[in-house]
A and B are shown apart, each in its own frame.
Chain A
Amino acid sequence: MLNTIIRAVSGFVLERFPPEKLNYHSMIEKKEVPVHRMHWAYYMGGLALFFFIIQVVTGLLLIFYYQPTVSDAHASVQFLTEHVPNGALIRNMHAWSASCMILLVLLHLLTSFAMKAFGKPREVTWLAGVLLLFVTFVFGFSGYLLPWNQIAVNATKVVLQSLDLVGNLLPKAIAHFPTMLRMAIQGEPSVGQMTLSRFYVIHVLILPIALAALLAVHLLSVQLHGMSPGVDQPAKKQEKFFPFFILKDLAVWAIAFLLLYIVARSLPFDAFVSYPLTRPYNALGSTPDGIKPEWYFFFVYYPLEMLPFWVIALAMMMLVLALFMVPWMFQKTPRRWLHILASVGACYLIISTVFGETIYHLLKGGK
């Protein structure tokens, strides 16, 4: 019995990480990228990686000046923006690149899904990718708090408080787990210094390590199995991964860098937030109007505002489960259906992100 399990597990692992392919020749030299109409999608993951690299570099620089205490956090960010040469540029790059990274990760998810890049033997690639997606979202959430301004602290409070609501929906025996989790992150009865310290450690230490580890697995298995064919009819043309695809990849990165630089130079990311919300958090005052999360949470935030909490909680749980089960759920589904599903998903994300606020105000307008 035990033997069968061990054999099954090792068989699974050996098939996903074949030792005979763990060499330069088959991972780099032999690898080819199919050329077909979805060819552009092969650049998405690399581009997400590029923005992650930008995040690491600019993030490291930000730590030079940032001070993670409730009294100094906001002032240190302000100092960085106003008095440090190129400080505003680096902070803007960090913020814009964060948004870009999330956008690219989502695009990468949708295109990989549509191209059926999760099929055997690429299940591990997909699972690592889904985990990377969550890590990226937590990155965004934890980084949001660090400037310690009104919108940041209040939005964080709201999200943390929502965890308690999740507890109400769970069976009695485990109902207190979400609250325990909240307390573990929050560290004290109300969002304060403990919370800031913990978010800081999560953002600059735990998540980067987690992301690097997952990324290693993700990239290793991508290189081992090569690019997925992506279309039903095998592509007639192949392009060598090294050096041609990688050079083109770098060219795309260069363009992305140029655009990011221009945007970061000319457009402060917080230009879209009204001034009272970027003031330092005031524990004794009332919560100001217009508290909302970053745009990449709109797809769950606005439905949450309009529908009962349990509906969204249930939907989210199903979605997360489904994401993990994708390689087995859609094993036999033809690519045409995957295309349609991915398009529907993309439409939903675009509509809820771009028009979520408008729809919300239309529905709530009277009150």
Chain B
Amino acid sequence: MLLFTVFPYVAIVVCIAGCLYRKRADSVGTSASSWLERKSPLWNWIPWHIWLLLILCGHLLAFLFPHFWSKMVYLPILLITIEAIGVTVTVVGMIGLILLLTNHLFSRRLIGIITPIDMLILLLLLVQFVFGLTTVIVYRWSASWSISTTTPYLWSLLALKPDASFIADLPFLVKSHIMTAWLFIFLLPFSNLRHVFTLPLRAIQRSTYRSIWNVEMAADQSHSEERRQFLLGIGTLAVGGAIISTGAVEKLLSYVFSVHLSQHEESKVLGTRLERLHMTVEQKQLEYERLQNDFILVAPFAELTPTTGKYFIDYEMRPALAFKGSDGFPLLISAKCTHLGCTVGNQVTKGKILCPCHVSYFDIKTGEPSAGAPAKAPLPLLGWVIRDAQGQEIMAKAADGTITGHVDPKSLQGYSVYIAKRDAAEGGA
């Protein structure tokens, strides 16, 4: 545990002291900045620094503003975003570092500028990248759990009350990541990389330019530039295409081949299908009945109420509503809105029913739409027939209002309400 409580201070002191000492010893500028001036053929150190800074900023944010940070990672979507950005930046930074390292290893110009200790510290950085990336992948949501582990640990160091118990339970991998960080700080003053503190801004500001000697050379250059761009484009296309196709093929294969249902799911799916088939059959039966029978049962009279309509299907297979009218007799009205054919609602408010599509109110007694409604034509009233249990016709009202037979409305309880084909045939409905 001493490694995590004492060594950090040692590392920081060595780092600061070392840097100060070397700065005094050095002439103006650092030799690190002189690397930056040399443009390597393909990869440049400068953009890579941006990635490195981004990663550092991510770590610093969690350390400096734990409260704000915890609020952010509390939202799953932000947590995922942060992790995704973190991984992306790390991967890019790592690839960049590997490319730069190999490039510089084989570049003769830079031998002598990169010292062995520089190389060591760069390799250490690479190892650090690997540790960090593995941590993020193996122990998910590090942006979230670091708030209660590494952040208080770092704060305890800052408060000069080092407490390693915060990180005591962390896996070896994470501890290695932290240890490597201290080691990195410790070694920094011995390498040329300490320029992070001297910030050779001049080198960044200085524009890079090429000397072009004559027109032929310029033409040649633009031609090769064009070819380079083309090859780069084709290359990117090939790589991108390969990545996308790999993902797409994987998804397609599983889409086509890997439908596996548990027995429970399978029976549920089949149940739904049967239920729907049943509904379709019912609908077809309704049609068939209407072709076959002269009378269709709407409802037993006792089930009708003045306030909630009972839906039924008329002879033209259109929806209709049955109410108990204020005169005590049945009241049958079409429910297909005369505006655009929506099905009208069955709740009566103030003697009116409502079509929800475009807000038309219809009077149930007359079928007339209220003034200003989108519907202009009234809902047609339907004829009805009252029959007793034996199928004897007791009373009927045709669509045009003609009433045949008469019974006291109070004695209707045992009878049922029907619609008749003869009314439909007359074109009344």
**Residue from the list A86, A154, A284 in contact with B342, Cβ < 8 A:** A154
Query: In the complex the two chains form, is A286's CB within 8 Å of B340's CB?
Result: no
Give CA–CA (A83, B261) in the complex, Å: 7
- Given A61-B255, A85-B254, A305-B358: A283 touches B283 (CB 8 Å cut-off): yes
* Complex-state Cα separation, A199 to B317, whole angstroms: 21
Q: Is the CB of B344 within 8 A of A286?
A: yes
Q: Which residue of chain B has its CB nearest to the CB of A79?
A: B269
For the complex, is A210 an interface residue (Cβ under 8 Å from B)? no
Tell me which residues from 279 to 326 in chain A have a Cβ below 8 Å from any Cβ of chain B. 280, 283-291, 305
Instruction: Tell me if B355 counts as interface (CB < 8 A to partner A).
Output: yes
Taking each of A87, A158, A162, which has the highest tally of chain B beta carbons within 10 Å of its own beta carbon? A158
B256, B316, B335, B355 — which one has the most chain A CB atoms within 10 A of its CB?
A: B256
Of A158, A247, A280, A286, which is in contact with the most chain B CB atoms at under 10 Å from its CB?
Answer: A286
A247 touches which of B233, B251, B374 (Cβ 8 Å): B233
CB closest residue in chain A, given B311: A284
A71 with B276: CB separation less than 8 A: yes
- Closest-by-CB residue of A relative to B259 is A84
- Chain B 362-397 residues near chain A, CB threshold 8 A: 372, 374
Q: Are B341 and A286 in contact (CB under 8 A)?
A: no
With contacts A87-B255, A190-B317, A190-B318 taken as known, whether A157 is within 8 angstroms of B279 at the C-beta atoms is no
A-contacting residues, B238-272, CB 8 Å: 240, 244, 251-252, 254-256, 258-259, 261, 265, 269, 272
A74 touches B276 (CB 8 A): yes
- A161 proximity list for chain B (CB < 8 A): 340-341
Does B273 make an interface contact (CB < 8 A)?
yes
How far is B358's CA from A87's CA once the two chains are assembled, in angstroms?
A: 35
Give the complex CA separation of A364 and B357 in angstroms: 13
Complex alpha-carbon distance, A165 and B340, angstroms:
9
Interface pair B237/A250, CB less than 8 Å apart: yes
Q: A286-B311, A287-B343 are in contact. Are A158 and B357 (CB under 8 A)?
A: yes
Tell me how far the C-beta of A117 lies from the nearest C-beta in chain B, rounded to whole angstroms.
26
Determine the residue in chain A with the shortest Cβ distance to B372. A367
Q: Counting CB contacts under 8 A, is A254 at the interface?
A: yes
Which one of A71, A90, A158, A305 has the greatest number of beta carbons of chain B within 10 Å? A71
CA distance A289 to B256 in the complex (A): 37
Q: Which residues of A contact B236 (CB under 8 A)?
A: 251
Q: How far is the CA of A285 from the CA of B321 in the complex (A)?
A: 11
Query: Does A89 touch B at the CB level, under 8 Å?
Result: yes
Assembled-state Cα–Cα distance A161/B318 (Å): 14
Interface size range on A against B: 35 or more
Q: How many residues of B contact A (CB 8 A)?
A: 46
Q: Check A367–B359 contact: CB distance below 8 A.
A: yes
A-chain residues with CB within 8 Å of residue B255 when the two chains form the complex: 61, 64, 84-87, 90
B311 in contact with A83 (CB, 8 Å): no
Residue numbers in A under 8 Å from B31 (CB-CB): none
CB-CB contacts below 8 Å: B312-329 with A: 313, 316-319
Residues of A60-113 whose CB lies within 8 A of B: 61, 64, 69-72, 74-75, 78-79, 83-87, 89-90
Question: Are A284 and B340 in touch, CB under 8 angstroms?
Answer: no
Cα separation A154 to B345 with both chains bound (whole Å)? 14
Nearest CB in chain B to that of A309: its residue: B374
Task: State the CA gap A72–B272 with chains docked (Å).
Answer: 9
A90 to B251, alpha carbons, bound, how many Å? 9
Q: Does B346 contact A (CB under 8 A)?
A: yes
- In the complex the two chains form, what is the Cα distance from A75 to B271 in whole Å? 10
Q: Is B341 within 8 A of A158, CB to CB?
A: yes
Bound: A288/B356 CA distance, A: 7
Write out the residue numbers on chain A whose beta carbons fall within 8 Å of the beta carbon of B269. Answer: 75, 79, 83
B117 adjacent to chain A (CB < 8 Å): no
Separation of A251 and B237 alpha carbons in the complex (Å) = 8
Verify A83–B259 contact, CB threshold 8 A.
yes
Give the one of B283, B344, B357 with max A CB within 10 A. B357
Is B276 in contact with A284, judged by CB distance below 8 angstroms? no
Q: Does A243 contact B (CB under 8 A)?
A: yes
Alpha-carbon distance between A225 and B354 when the two chains are bound, in angstroms = 57
How near does chain A come to B59, taking the closest CB pair, in angstroms?
A: 26
Tell me the complex Cα distance, A84–B233, Å: 37
Residues of B near A79 (CB, < 8 A) are: 269
Contacts of B342 in A (CB 8 A): 154, 157-158, 287, 291
Which residues of A from 32 to 58 have beta carbons under 8 Å from B?
Answer: none
B10 CB within 8 Å of chain A? no
CB interface residues, A 142-183, toward B, < 8 Å: 154, 157-158, 161-162, 165
Bound-complex Cα distance A75 to B280 (A): 13
Which residue from chain B places its CB closest to the CB of A148 in the assembled complex? B276
Name the A residues within 8 Å of B252 (CB-CB): 61, 86
Report chain A residues within 8 Å CB of B233: 243-244, 247
Q: Which residues of B contact A85 (CB under 8 A)?
A: 251, 254-255, 258-259
Q: B230 in the interface, Cβ–Cβ < 8 Å?
A: yes
A305 to B256, CA, bound (A): 44
The minimal Cβ–Cβ distance linking B282 to chain A, given in whole angstroms, is 9
Nearest chain B CB to A174's CB is how many angstroms away? 22
- In the complex, A189 has a CB within 8 A of chain B: yes
Instruction: Determine the chain B residues whose CB is within 8 A of the CB of A165 once the complex forms.
Output: 340
Is A137 in contact with chain B by the CB < 8 A criterion? no
When C-beta atoms are compared, the residue in chain A nearest to B248 turns out to be A57
A330 at the interface (CB under 8 A from B): no
CB–CB A75/B341 < 8 A = no
- Contact: B251 with A71, CB < 8 Å? no
Measured in the bound complex, the distance between the Cα atoms of B281 and A70 in whole Å is 11
Closest residue of chain B to A305 (Cβ to Cβ) is B358
Contact of A157 among B311, B341, B372 (CB under 8 A): B341
B277 touches A (CB below 8 Å): yes
Q: Mark A338-367, 1 if CB is under 8 A from B, else 0.
A: 000000000000000000000000001001
Chain A: which residue is nearest B370 at the CB level?
A367
A154 to B269, CA, bound (A): 25
Nearest residue, chain A, Cβ from B233: A247
State the Cβ distance, B153 to closest chain A Cβ, in Å.
Answer: 34
Specify which of A154, A285, A364 is in contact with B359 (CB 8 Å cutoff): A364
Q: Verify if B229 is at the interface (C-beta below 8 Å from A).
A: yes
Contact between chains at B273 and A75 (CB < 8 Å): yes
Other-chain contact of A75, B272, B318, B356 (Cβ < 8 Å): B272
Chain B residues near A70 (CB-CB < 8 A): 280
Q: Chain A residues in contact with chain B, CB under 8 A?
A: 61, 64, 69-72, 74-75, 78-79, 83-87, 89-90, 154, 157-158, 161-162, 165, 189-190, 243-244, 247, 250-251, 254, 257, 280, 283-291, 305, 364, 367
Sample (12) of A-B pairs whose CB atoms are under 8 Å apart: A61-B255, A72-B276, A72-B277, A158-B340, A158-B341, A243-B233, A244-B229, A254-B244, A285-B343, A286-B345, A287-B342, A364-B359
Further 8 A-B residue pairs, CB within 8 A, beyond A71-B276, A83-B269: A72-B276, A75-B272, A244-B233, A247-B237, A286-B311, A286-B335, A290-B356, A291-B357
- Nearest 9 interchain pairs by C-beta: A247-B233, A71-B280, A287-B342, A85-B254, A161-B341, A161-B340, A71-B276, A158-B340, A287-B343
